[in-house]
Structure 1
Amino acid sequence: MLIQSLIPLGLFLIMLSMGLGLTVNDFKELLNRPKAVFVILLVQLLFLPLLAIAISLAIDLSPSLGLGLVLIASCPGGITSNMLTRLAKGDTALSIGLTAITSLTSVFIIPLIMGAFARLIGGELESFELSFLNIILQISALTALPLVIGMVLRNKYPDVVSHLESKMVLITALFFILLVVLTWIDQWENIKSSVNVAGTAVALLLVLSNTAGFLSGKIARLQEQEITTMLIEVGIQNGAMAFMIAATILNNMSIAIPSALYSVFMIIIGMVIVVVRRPNVA
């Protein structure tokens, strides 16, 4: 299908665009906020996948939809989370650094979590065999590799990249919107038949993840800008990555349905966060 051919290209461009905006200093910046980094990564990398698994079991999602939900929760943030953090006047440097770290670690985390969920659920997923090496290599080629390429290009040609960066962000954002629209058209019957249960699961994931992010930030006594960043980093995952893994690596569009719904819902939630949090920070 055309959509399955375009998705890998779209993800590659998105991650390349993210890399063009990164420098080594963005990683060093994380060292200045050790508590915020630890708390956010703990919630994002551990709590979020466990929450998705709990939701899947609680509302009795089908194995494929459940796997799709867990896949979303296992993905890192993306360019969208960085843009929303900037709009909400959160800690943009923290957001960019965290997105970079989680994008690189997701290469290993995603196959581990998906494999664990497949073994937990069993049933039709008992025959769902994950080639960890294959998935790691494919995710690396479409996420980590373009991210590193973008960083190298920024380091070698800073003036050219500075001129192109904003255009790349716009192009990739429009391309991703096109992919979501095409998927909704292509999978409309499947989406329509599962929208109630899958939509409920996605909505629960978004609401509960943001609630957990806010409460964790308050309990950890993070600064208000850091809490805003945490809300967005925890609540806005890389829908394009989940989309790509489901549609191309796993070759199962049913698993991609939660991603298709999430890509729309996350923008709504993201803008709500921007409106609510922006007046509360300096």
Structure 2
Amino acid sequence: MDSTLAMIGLPVALGIIMFGLGLDLTPGDFARIGKRPKAVSIALICQLLVLPAICFGLVLLFRLPPVLAVGMMLLAASPGGTMANLYSHLFRGDVALNISLTAINSVIAVLTLPLIVNLSIAWFQPGDMTVGLQLKKTIEVFMIVLAPVCLGMLVRGLRPGFARAMDKPVRLASVVILTLVIAGAVVSNYAALKEDFLALAGIVISFCVLSLGIGFIVPRLFSINRKQSIASAFEVGLHNATLAIVIAQSVLMIPDMSLPAAVYGVLMFPMAAIFGIMISATRSSSVSLE
């Protein structure tokens, strides 16, 4: 991928997506977390602790090369995005819970993402810590993750009419940008991707299935209602592939590290749709049996 595009274009593209996310958020979304602490806590534990541990196990199982291994951990550390809200809406989840989880995840990721990436680099590449997310790069992550979200929230607070009018155009732009970023990452790293695609496809599908499954089953085990469990499933199961690609290419400047996120970005859409259809079918079956 052209260096100018990686350094400027990708962060701008991600900024537009995160700005659109901010247009959907209000301070009330953060306050709402206190009204459903159990559902939020379980989803966050799955997202922040369980998934990185599972991803680490999968990386060891599939014996990925160090750069791709760190790329998978970067993907696992990335928060959910706007697509989680969309899928939750389509399959009758608690979208308000999704919005609340996305809000808090976007804040927490500024701290947890650099930590997980640094630990991954220390494990898989112990002799080369120079590519780690040190203070300067951590600030860059903060700027590309949280600053556009805060700006979007500010615009919504000051100009709610404008925010409502921009909702659909920004959502559409976000989907288009996401598609272009993933396509660009695939094309620019095609040679490396062709060599590692089978290994990456296997681990990405496994990770996606486990993420969605854990996000749904664990809340149900703790007596969280079905709508909130569906919201948790998509929030935990659908990671922000664009963020992982931008950090790999623009912050860490290691294009090959973006390959897991690129493959994931392609496969997560049908996987999430299949998962949604399956849980809808199980609900229909349970209702008919009653």
Q: If the length of structure 2 is used for normalisation, what is the TM-score?
A: 0.92
Q: 2:140 maps to which residue? A: 138
Asked if the contact 1:10/1:175 (under 8 Å) is kept, the reply is yes
Q: Give distance in 2, aligned partners of 1:165 and 1:215.
A: 32
Moved more, 37-46 or 181-190: 181-190
**Deviation sequence 1:183-229 (CA, Å, 0-9, x none):** 22221111111001111111111112222223312211110001111
**Deviation sequence 1:154-183 (CA, Å, 0-9, x none):** 000001111111111111211221121222
The residue correspondences of 1:1-282 to structure 2 (distance < 5 A) are 1=2, 3-4=5-6, 5-122=8-125, 126-278=128-280, 280=283
What SS does the aligned partner of 2:218 have?
Answer: helix
Asked if the contact 2:15/2:144 (under 8 Å) is kept, the reply is yes
Partner amino acid, structure 2, of 1:149: L
**Deviation sequence 1:3-46 (CA, Å, 0-9, x none):** 41321111100000000011111112211111101100000011
Q: Give distance in 1, aligned partners of 2:251 and 2:142.
A: 12
Q: Give distance in 2, aligned partners of 1:89 and 1:3.
A: 38
Q: Give distance in 2, aligned partners of 1:61 and 1:24.
A: 41
Q: Give distance in 2, aligned partners of 1:47 and 1:148.
A: 28
Give the length in aligned residue pairs. Answer: 281
The verdict on how the C-alpha distance between 1:142 and 1:127 changes in structure 2, with shifts beyond 3 A counting, is closer
Asked if the contact 1:232/1:273 (under 8 Å) is kept, the reply is no
Asked if the contact 2:212/2:233 (under 8 Å) is kept, the reply is yes
What SS does the aligned partner of 1:222 have?
Answer: coil
**Unmatched 5+ stretches in structure 2:** none
Shift of 1:128: 4.1
**Deviation sequence 1:96-141 (CA, Å, 0-9, x none):** 1101111111111111111111122235x63444242112211111
Q: If the length of structure 1 is used for normalisation, what is the TM-score?
A: 0.95
Asked if the contact 1:3/1:179 (under 8 Å) is kept, the reply is no
Q: Give distance in 1, aligned partners of 2:43 and 2:170.
A: 28
Q: Give distance in 2, aligned partners of 1:173 and 1:3.
A: 19
Q: Give distance in 2, aligned partners of 1:276 and 1:203.
A: 16
Q: Give distance in 2, aligned partners of 1:140 and 1:122.
A: 24
What SS does the aligned partner of 1:86 have?
Answer: helix
Partner amino acid, structure 2, of 1:7: L
Partner amino acid, structure 2, of 1:105: I
Q: Give distance in 2, aligned partners of 1:15 and 1:167.
A: 14
Q: Give distance in 2, aligned partners of 1:36 and 1:247.
A: 34
Q: Give distance in 1, aligned partners of 2:67 and 2:33.
A: 36
Asked if the contact 1:90/1:225 (under 8 Å) is kept, the reply is yes
What SS does the aligned partner of 2:135 have?
Answer: helix
Partner amino acid, structure 2, of 1:84: Y
**Unmatched 5+ stretches in structure 1:** none
